[in-house]
Chains A and B, each alone.
Chain A
Amino acid sequence: MKKLLILIAFSFALAACKPQDHKNGYATNDFTLTSTDGMSFALSKLKGSVVLLYFGYTNCPDACPLTLATITNVFKDLSEAEQKKVKTVFVSVDPDRDSPTRLKEYLSYYKTISPIGLTGSKEELQNAIGKFSGTFKKMDSDSKSGYLMMHPTSIYVLDPYGNLVFKFFHGEELRVLKDQIHSLL
């Protein structure tokens, strides 16, 4: 009996040590928002692809274009077949200004990476970003651009099963992101 208990405990410990449960990634991390076509879109629809997930907004003139340009440069290193296995998802956390149409217009500029644009209600967005322990907040400002949004600047890298495997921060060497993506393809 004692041996059996030790065996069970050992099995639990092994299970806990597994880096990620690939079968349950999207079971934990999935969310549904509205696409730029106004349709419901579940993130798990991208199962099988490496997902580069970013939470930003279209009035953002620096961090968001920088992120999309960074991903564009990553794509230059990928073969056409590899590019098809990597999906960029840009979630706007500014639903008051970023309608699906506005988001579509904004993202159409980034043709190389063809980002999937998503948005939703504040509650839906809180749920989505909360899956990755992120937050966003509307901040009052005297800027002529209106209020500003606090949002994460990192790119969340999801493996083909939907597990968050890496966060790429601004300022890190691009090679780090490239290596990470290559390791998942």
Chain B
Amino acid sequence: MRRLIDKEISWERLDKSMKVQNIIVLSFLAVALLMISGCDAVKKSEMSVHDMWIQAAPKEQKNSSMYLTIQNGTGAPIVLTGVSANVSEFVELHTIDRNGENMVMRKVDGFSIPDQSALALKPGGAHIMLINLNQDLKAEETVPVTLHFKNGADMELIVTVKKMSDMIEE
């Protein structure tokens, strides 16, 4: 390796077999570097959404809720600022304020997700509220949903409707 980077040693002085061997090594190095840089790029831009579901509810219930987990591995904080879904008139982000055994929901403008951490929306806590349902939400149906982020990015998802009783501990 030293031979390859040593400017005093010219390529001409290397015998042919040595040249071939070093070219192969260099090629491997180049490919490895590309792969490493490629992996790094993937890792830095990685954001995954999983465990997403919408609570089944007939239209008459008026409201429902959606839950998900967003894993942020992008290398920077991200902020979920809104959600669009055509199954309800409005969609809002809500958190829960607790005071002893009492609780109250509170509308928020966004959920911040620091780098290398996750936002987990689960029953009994922060959630996405679907207000004034336009239709019945039947279990196992799917709903197109778009997540909106502060940096202007949108993410389109297909979310399955589930019965609340099937999604909590039995």
Task: Say whether A and B bind each other.
Answer: yes
A: residues with CB less than 8 A from B are: 58-63, 65-66, 68-70, 72-73, 76, 105-106, 109, 134-137, 139, 141-145, 148-154, 167, 169-171, 173-174
Selected from B64, B89, B124, B168, the residue in CB contact (under 8 A) with A63 is B124
Q: Which B residues touch A60, using CB under 8 A?
A: 63, 105
Residue of A nearest to B133 (CB): A61
When the two chains form the complex, which single residue of A109, A148, A153 contacts B106, counting CB atoms closer than 8 Å? A148
What are 24 inter-chain pairs, A to B, with CB distance below 8 A?
A61-B63, A61-B64, A61-B129, A62-B96, A63-B124, A69-B168, A73-B165, A106-B60, A109-B60, A134-B101, A141-B106, A141-B107, A143-B94, A144-B90, A144-B92, A144-B132, A145-B90, A145-B92, A145-B131, A151-B103, A152-B103, A153-B103, A167-B101, A174-B168
CB neighbours (8 Å) of B164 from chain A are 65-66, 68-69
Q: Tell me if B77 counts as interface (CB < 8 A to partner A).
A: no
Contact flags B106-142 to A (C-beta < 8 A → 1, else 0):
1100000000000000011101011110000000000
Across the interface, do A70 and B168 meet the contact criterion of CB distance under 8 Å? yes
User: Are A66 and B131 in contact (CB-based, < 8 A)?
Assistant: no
Take A109-B61, A150-B99, A170-B124 as given contacts and tell me if A69 and B165 are in contact as well, using a CB distance cutoff of 8 Å: yes
Q: Which residues of B contact A58 (CB under 8 A)?
A: 61-62
User: Are B124 and A66 in contact, CB atoms less than 8 angstroms apart?
Assistant: yes
Contacts of A137 in B (CB 8 A): 104
Contacts A66-B124, A143-B94 given: A61-B169 contact, CB under 8 Å?
no
13 further contact pairs, Cβ within 8 A, besides A66-B123, A151-B103: A59-B62, A61-B65, A62-B124, A62-B129, A63-B124, A69-B168, A109-B58, A143-B94, A143-B105, A143-B131, A144-B131, A145-B129, A151-B102
Q: Is B78 an interface residue (CB 8 A)?
A: no
Number of interface residues of B (CB under 8 A): 37
Assess whether A149 is in contact with B55, with CB atoms less than 8 Å apart. Answer: no
With contacts A65-B55, A109-B58, A170-B124 known, is A72 near B165, CB below 8 A?
yes
Nearest chain B CB to A63 CB, angstrom units: 6
Residues of B within 8 A of A171 (CB): 124
Interface string of B75-95 (1 = CB under 8 A from A): 000000000000001101010
Which residues from chain B contact A141 at a C-beta distance below 8 Å?
105-107
Looking at A62, A137, A152, the one whose CB has the most chain B CB atoms below 10 A away is A62
- A60 to chain B minimum Cβ distance, whole angstroms, is 7
Q: Decide: B105 and A148 in contact? CB cutoff 8 A.
A: yes
Chain B hits for A134, CB < 8 A: 101-102
B94: chain A residues at CB < 8 Å are 62, 143
Check if B159 is an interface residue, CB within 8 A of chain A. Answer: no
CB-CB under 8 A from B96, the residues of chain A are 62-63
